[in-house]
Amino acid sequence: MTAPGAPHQNYFHLHLVSDSTGETLINVGRAACAQYVNVLPIEHVYPLVRSPKQLERVLTEIEASPGIVLYTLVDKDIRDQLKRRCTELSVPFMSVLAPVVQLFQSYLGGEPQPRVGGQHALDATYFKRIDALNYTVAHDDGQLSDDLEEADVILLGVSRTSKTPTSIYLANRGIKTANIPLVPNVPVPQAIERLRKPLVVGLIASAERIVEIRQNRLLGLNAPTTNSSYVDREAVSEELANSRRLFARHGWPLIDVTRRSIEETAAAIIGHLSERRRQKIVET
């Protein structure tokens, strides 16, 4: 059943108003929208809204394209102005952080001290993430294999198993990640077998998926897609079988990325990493 006042078309306007970067709102909004497969949001993102003048431009756009309004605003006057105008326009609005902050307050006691963009502070966590990104970019696709012991995670897999984007995602979480391609007839660096600190993870996918991605890549490069073992179904299947045997021989965890998003693959890796750290704590 369509909610009262809801649009009948298969899209709606989603206004995201923030006094910081807007990343929190974007993530929450998209996570909620993903629950409605037949409805698409038209996102209007307004970052760094910190003055009444800046808010006026936002309110003008909300009036021109009514829809859902989500916001994260620390300044009470600006927040009240937005709420008042949304009420006048009869558009739904919500602070995405207020319920969570209220829950924290009821449990922790005391009053919160709101800070604009507090999650983006230049603290140790921030610099750890930057350090991880620098390391990961420098160790992409088998580069600089001399200092792999410094990595938190090492990803192995045949070509087109999403090693690089997964590495970058993990680095954004502060996890130093190196990735090494498995190439036919090229042995894996023996140094990997002697590593103690990094978690080595194998990535695989179905042969059909690998062939499809490789063919698209060759088309993008205007390269021939025939008479090449790179896109031959049997050759790819053999590559994957060899990689599976390698992972099993060393007891390295294996993740099938065929139907996983980068975020889901990274979450599985982080789960393996957390479990490994818990085991080390228990052993000590």
Tens digit of each residue's pLDDT (9 = 90 or more) over 46-66: 999 999 999 999 999 999 999
81, 178: one domain: no
pLDDT of residue 109: 84
272, 141: one domain: yes
Domain boundary pick from 93, 118, 143: 118
pLDDT of residue 2: 42
Decide: helix, strand or coil at residue 241: helix
98, 68: one domain: yes
pLDDT of residue 1: 35
Domain boundary pick from 118, 141, 166: 118
CATH number of residue 276's parent domain: 3.40.50
Domain boundary pick from 118, 153, 175: 118
Chain-centroid distance of CA 11 in Å reads 25
102, 130: one domain: no
| Whole-angstrom distance, CA of residue 173 vs CA of residue 161 | 20
Binding residues: 157-164
Chain-centroid distance of CA 55 in Å reads 30
CATH number of residue 97's parent domain: 3.40.50.2300
151, 70: one domain: no
Cα distances (Å, whole numbers) of residue 249 to 203, 205, 243: 15, 19, 10
196, 172: one domain: yes
Count of domains observed in the chain? 2
pLDDT of residue 146: 85
pLDDT of residue 114: 66
| Whole-angstrom distance, CA of residue 152 vs CA of residue 154 | 7
Task: Evaluate whether residue 83 is within a structural domain.
Answer: yes
| Whole-angstrom distance, CA of residue 69 vs CA of residue 79 | 12
Task: Evaluate whether residue 6 is within a structural domain.
Answer: no
184, 219: one domain: yes
- What is the DSSP code (8-state) at residue 152? S
164, 105: one domain: no
Task: Evaluate whether residue 102 is within a structural domain.
Answer: yes
The answer to whether the predicted template modeling score (pTM) of the entire model surpasses 0.85 is: no
Task: Evaluate whether residue 152 is within a structural domain.
Answer: yes
Tokens representing 118 are 């507090």
110, 212: one domain: no
| Whole-angstrom distance, CA of residue 24 vs CA of residue 16 | 10
Binding residues for ADP: 157-164
* pLDDT average per 10 residues of sequence, the chain (284 residues): 53 95 91 91 94 96 97 94 97 94 87 63 77 96 91 97 96 95 92 92 97 91 79 96 96 96 95 88 77
Domain range for residue 92? 11-118
20, 137: one domain: no
Tokens representing 266 are 């990274």
Task: Evaluate whether residue 5 is within a structural domain.
Answer: no
- Is 75:22 a contact under the CB 8 Å cutoff? no
47, 149: one domain: no
95, 131: one domain: no
